[in-house]
Every structure is written in C-alpha cells, then in structure tokens.
Amino acid sequence: MNSIKLTLLAGISLIGFSAIQAQEVKDILNQGKITGNFQVDAQYYQEDSAIGAVQPNEEFLTNGFLNLIYTNSGFSAGIRYESYQNAMLGFPTGYKGSGIAYRFASFTKDDLSVTVGNFYEQFGNGLVLRAYEERGLGYDNAIDGIRVKYKLFNGIELTGLVGQQRLYFEKGDGIVRAFNANINFNETFESLKDKKTKVIVGGSVVSKFQEDNNPDLILPENVASFAGRTIISRGKVSLNAEYAFKYNDPSLDNGYNYKNGEAAFIQASYSQKGLGVSLAAKRVDNFSFRSDRDASQQDLFINYQPALTKQHTYNLLATLYPYATQPNGEMAVQGDVIYTFAKGSLLGGKYGTGVQLNASFAYDINRDSINPLEDDSRNLYTSNYFETGQRLFRDMNIQISKKLSKDWKMKLTYANILFNQEVVQGKADVPMVSAHVGVAEATYKFNMRNSIRMEGQVLLTEQDQGNWATGILEYSYSPHWFVAVIDQFNYDNPKGAEEHYYNVSAGYNNQGNRITLAYGRQRAGIFCVGGVCREVPAANGLYLSITSSF
C-alpha cells in the first residue's frame, strides 16, 4: 500500500501540486482512502487462413491499465496509467505505448465543486455533450481542463467547463467550452414541494474553437450548439424530452456541408408492479459534432446520440448485425413492453413468467439535394422534418423467461432483423439482410455451488454470410470457478467454406480478483455499445484477462 500511495503522490504532483512539501502530502494521504482497479488483456495470435486471421509481427499484444483514486473528505485525486504493447487487434491503432493518460484533482467546498485535469461529463441525454469512456470499444473522449459546478440554491445547479479532448496519448486541436443549468422546480419553489407532478428543466450551451487552416474554404472557427430539455413525472408515468440545435459545422463527416444541424429525442414510460412500457423516438439531421472537423472513426466526438435499439447480449444478435447510430441523419423509434404473469396464474404457473416485447425501427432522413449553381450557401440539401428516407434497420423481438422448478430456469428469444449493409457498414452493391434469430437458454442448479448453463442460437438468412449456429456449455462452481465451451458454425455460406469457430475458456474469481484464460477462434464482426461500434477482426490464439479492484 505504501508503494501505491507514492505512485499516487507522483501523479498528483503532475497536475500542479509540486509546491506542497512531500511530507505534508504523505500525511494527507495517510488520513484518506485509496481505491482503484487494474486490468490487463493479452492475446497470442496465430495465423488461420481459413477464417482470415493474421498473425501480427509482435505475435503477442496487450492492453492494460491501473486506476488509483484518493479521497479525503471533500478532496479527491487520481491517476490512470495505461499501456498498449501494442494494442490488441481491432482497437484503434492510436493506442500505442504507455503513459499516464488520465489524472485529476477535485474538491468540494460548501456548494462549490472544482475539478482540474481530466474529467467526464454529460449534459442531459448527451445530444450536445457527453464525455465518457467505453473501454471495450477503445473509446475515450475525456476532457482535459477545468470544470466548476455550483449549487446556486435549492434545486438549481450550474456547470461550466473548458478544455481539450483526449486523442489517445495526445489532445485534439479544438477547444471545448460548455455551460449547463438544471432546475428542479419542486425543490426550488416551496409551493411545488409536495406536488405529485415533478418537473426538471435544463439548458446547455456547448461550443468548440478550431483554427481555420483550409486553403479552399472559409470555415467557422467557433461553432455553437444549444439544447433544452425537460423531465416530467407523475406517479407511474414519466416523460423525457430534449431538443438540440447546432450552427453550421462543415466537417469531414458531412462532406463540408454548411447546413445547420438539429437533434430531437423524446421518451415516455409507464411502470407498475409486473408491467413496464416505454416508447422513444428521435430525429437527427447533420448533427455530427467533433472538436476536430477533420477527425474520423471514433475520434473527438463532443456529443452522443442515444441508440434506439435493444442492446442484445446473445452473441449472434449482438455482433453480426448491430446498428450503429448515423450522426448525419436518422429517424428512429423504439418500443418496449415488459410484463410478468403473476405466480399462480394460468400463464404464470408456480414461479411466474416474464415476457419482454421490443421493436425498433431506424430510417434515413429525407434529403432533397441543392444545386450549387443556383444556391451558393453551401447547404448541400434540404429535409422534410417528418418524411423518412430509406430503411436502415429493424429489430422485432420477444423474450420469455420462465423458472420451471427450483433447479431449472429457461429463456427463449426470437428476433426478426432487417439490416442495411450499404449504409450502416458502408458496403457497396450488397442486399438488405433479412434474418431470423432464435435463442434457447437453460440453467440447471445442482446445488448451492454447482450449476450448468446451456445455450443454443441460430441465425437464418439468405444474404451476406448465410446461416449461423452457436452452442455454449458453461459449468460454474460458485463462487470461484467456471469453464465454458463455445462453438459457432457458419453454414450455407454463399461466399465461402463452412467454418467452425470453437473456443474454450476457464475463469477464477476471488473477491475483487478475476482471471480468465481462453483459447480458440474469434470470428470477424462488429462490437457495439449504445450505438457506438468498432470492427473486430478474425483471430485465433490464446487470450488472457486479469482484473482486480480494491
């Protein structure tokens, strides 16, 4: 623990605390609490020409990090050391080498909170600002700068920040400046304190600055965006709505279109015991927002656009045809119904039965091109607000969960998918994929410690790579051990030979420590979280993961 404290001390000094005497800082550390977590993922790659897996020159690649956070009353500070020697295949190549990629210090005094260094932040639903990390995607757009939060009085909170975004081990050229205000009417106004209807409103202003170095165009160096939102709830019903506007922001993403951007999101929900209903819709038009207009892939996004699609966990559903949010334009809607048939009822039986219905639809927006010879505004198109373009994605699915006895429980899932490869994946001259997916999962509990889980999946389609089947058998010895065997089989593939993707894994858990070892094939696919995706290449080899928290 002493070595950890010395490491944290060194990190704190990097953000401006070198004037404090070392002994004084050590005394402060001894009075507080240190927490953290560690993870290293490593893979030895083998060439496998049958599935298109290559062996990199290094053969053995690793991703790793260590977080250390110190807290003492109203003060906290932390560092994160990251190492990529080199980054595992499929992760952005900008992750290379080692260093302290995240460090911060913050304090709270009465109603004032100040953070310097790196931080994450989100305003509302993220339409104009969301700085966050998703380690599985290699996504991290943390802001490096200063953030101030102040509780003006009951129910009113103000946030202001300025900084530059993380770009791997560097920072992007652009500067992000943002202000946000939230007002909880029921807390601010005494007359509304005991009202059943709860109302929260918020507003945000986010702007970026980037020098214009383009020799051919006159580009705006300052781009501002605005958002207004409300959350209204009464009893079992709630409504979440937000609208955002962005001034012209010509960029690589939109083909240097000078058209203003818009984004709207609305979600209504109802819940009671045994029943939950949700309906959400959004429209996005030319709303890619980065701190560097020339950035691509996942780099330097300022904002986030919620994906109105179900986040599946089953392999074939989650990685073969997942939907990636289209920041330049989409209209989407999603509905969810979750219902539990009560115990003792005809369909509930002895233990009850859970049913989940979900449907999501995504379309391109309507676009009417503008002739540049007749209009020199450099707006590339106009758009009818309520008219849709071509279909991008559809997912209609149902899941039934049932406990059959004290030892057996099961889940059955069916999904019908339509997937536009040309737009979502950028492929040329390929058909729309129509797929039927079925999943059956069963778990048998031998006793308090021993259980076995069996899973079968099938995906049927006449397009793309044809049909897939997946079988999983997993044995767990609680609370420490598990062993799993997986085989994915691609059959009736019109593009090539039928292939098995086998994998064997074992893991050990002990309090905050987890070790996983796996060997086998990994098929090429897409891995998505919340509509943000990265490509996963085909691979074959030995995989090791170690995680720990303290």
What residues does each domain of the chain span? 110-306, 307-326+334-363+385-503
Same fold across 110-306 and 307-326+334-363+385-503: yes
Alpha helices in 342-478 (DSSP H): 421-424
- Stretches where the chain sits below pLDDT 70 are 1-30
Alpha helices in 222-334 (DSSP H): 315-319
pLDDT at 335: 98
Residue 301, both tokens: 């996004």
Cα distances (angstroms) measured from residue 59 to each of 53, 87, 138, 339, 503 = 12, 11, 20, 50, 19
Alpha helices in 103-220 (DSSP H): 185-188
Per-residue pLDDT of 410-447, as tens digits, reads 999 999 999 999 999 888 889 999 999 999 999 999 99
What is the amino acid identity at position 113?
A: S
Whether the Cβ atoms of residue 63 and residue 86 lie closer than 8 Å to each other = no
The Cβ-side half-sphere exposure at 132, using a 13 Å CA radius, reads 15
Cα 470 from Cα 457, distance rounded (Å): 5
The Cβ-side half-sphere exposure at 501, using a 13 Å CA radius, reads 21
Q: At what angle do helices 2-12 and 22-31 cross, to 10 degrees?
A: 120
The CA-based diameter of the chain, rounded to the nearest angstrom, is 76
CATH superfamily assigned to domain 110-306: Porin (2.40.160.10)
pLDDT at 528: 85
pTM listed for this prediction: 0.90
pLDDT at 509: 95
pLDDT at 18: 45
Buried b / exposed e across 178-214, counting CB within 10 Å, b at 16+? bbbbbbbbbeeeeeeeeeeebbbebbbbbbbebeeee
pLDDT at 11: 52
pLDDT at 24: 62
Cα distances (angstroms) measured from residue 140 to each of 12, 94, 438, 447, 524 = 21, 12, 34, 42, 23
Residue 316, both tokens: 């074939």
Name 246's Cβ contacts closer than 8 Å, sequence gap at least 6: 128, 223, 224, 225, 226, 260, 261, 262, 263, 286, 287, 289
Cα 151 from Cα 289, distance rounded (Å): 29
**Where are any strands of DSSP class E within 86-196?**
97-109, 112-119, 121-122, 130-131, 133-134, 139-140, 143-153, 156-167, 170-171, 175-184
pLDDT at 494: 85
Q: Which secondary structure element, helix H or strand E, spans residue 22, and what is its range?
A: helix 22-31
Secondary-structure class of domain 307-326+334-363+385-503 per CATH: mainly beta
pLDDT at 22: 59
Strand, coil or helix: what is 409?
strand
pLDDT at 495: 79
pLDDT at 460: 97
What is the amino acid identity at position 86?
A: N
The Cβ-side half-sphere exposure at 115, using a 13 Å CA radius, reads 23
